[in-house]
Homo-oligomer: A and B are copies of this chain.
């Protein structure tokens, strides 16, 4: 049913990773500088990110002609360089705790490329950012904007922020500068102790028209959740008040409808932009929890599967101490893709209705 699709391919230590995006309409202006800038964001905050000198130079193989999308599949490839795989040979029989090594070995009957996590690597999210770039361009034509920021790092949570504050902030990570200062300290602490730390990303979209999505099968909230959960390390997704709804009464939870500037809106936005699986025209507010990246320098217990005995491992390599900053453009990309897809679908019906 989707009109906009993407498929990722590649392994962390293979020749290249990439993405094929299908369904992007023709005539969208593409600027490679913008695309590179988006990918640059995915590297996160240098201090807390892996030192891999990923150049992440995206090469557009197809679907763009003379600076515009053509309407045909867009393939974008990023070569893997600066790859050092020998260490992964050492640990291939000892699955890293918190990583997908163990189930992958079973799923792929031992044939998977285990180096750097192979196809499970977070590096594949480059493709989501690339697809998100095109999706944002689709949304842009309708004035729809998407923005993600860090809501929490470990114990530090940003204060409640208005949608306007989120979109007008110049801090690329968190509009609450004070909280962000503390978040940096938490990340620094984790880094110093050879550990990592988790966090929460909040993603907001504005100017989304009412009526996207639908009940059950067409539920756009479900499609967004699905897209978010496909990002590695995501372990929870909520919209609006989210899990706090479980503590509330209906009289506290329901958002009254009112008229503002001649438009039907809700006075509050507990629902986070969705009712009945559909957008209401109110801002979309989603929260996504990112578990602490499992690669840490501390000794951990695991099992040597070849020899079936328990042992300790101590990982070596270049690890992020916090992947939450990196996740921002990925979360935005995932959101933009779903919104753009539903927007395109919506236009089919609007076109039909207008043809009366």
Contact = CB atoms under 8 A, between A and B. Distances in A.
A250 B18 contact: no
A235 B262 CA distance: 29
A249 B300 CA distance: 13
17 contacts: A8-B217, A10-B62, A11-B62, A16-B61, A63-B119, A68-B111, A70-B119, A73-B119, A102-B280, A103-B280, A124-B215, A141-B355, A245-B291, A257-B302, A344-B348, A347-B347, A347-B352
Interface in A324-353: 344-345, 347-353
Interface in A200-257: 200, 210-217, 219, 221-223, 225-230, 232, 235-243, 245-257
A290 B246 contact: yes
B348 A3 contact: yes
A166 interface: no
A75 interface: yes
Contacts of A111: 26-27, 65, 68-71
A112 B250 contact: no
Contact of A118 (B72, B210, B287, B349): B72
Nearest to A353: B109
Task: Please classify the interface of chain A as helix (H, G, I), strand (E, B), loop, or mixed, using the class held by over half of its residues.
Answer: mixed
A59 B349 CA distance: 26
Interface residues of A, number: 156
Interface string A275-288: 11111110000010
Contacts of A120: 215, 276-277
Given A9-B73, A107-B71, A250-B98, A226 B237 contact: no
A104 B276 contact: yes
Given A1-B2, A61-B14, A103-B276, A310 B258 contact: yes
A71 B112 contact: yes
Nearest to A124: B216
Interface stretch (A32-40, A50-58, A167-175, A191-199): A191-199
Contacts of A211: 103, 106-107
B289 A242 contact: yes
Interface string A286-327: 010111111110101111010011100000000000000000
Nearest to A74: B9
A25 B93 CA distance: 22
A259 B97 contact: no
Contacts of A200: 243, 246
Given A226-B223, A259-B310, A293 B248 contact: no
Nearest to A153: B246
A135 interface: no
A91 interface: no
Contacts of A277: 100, 120, 230, 232
A46 to B, nearest CB: 20
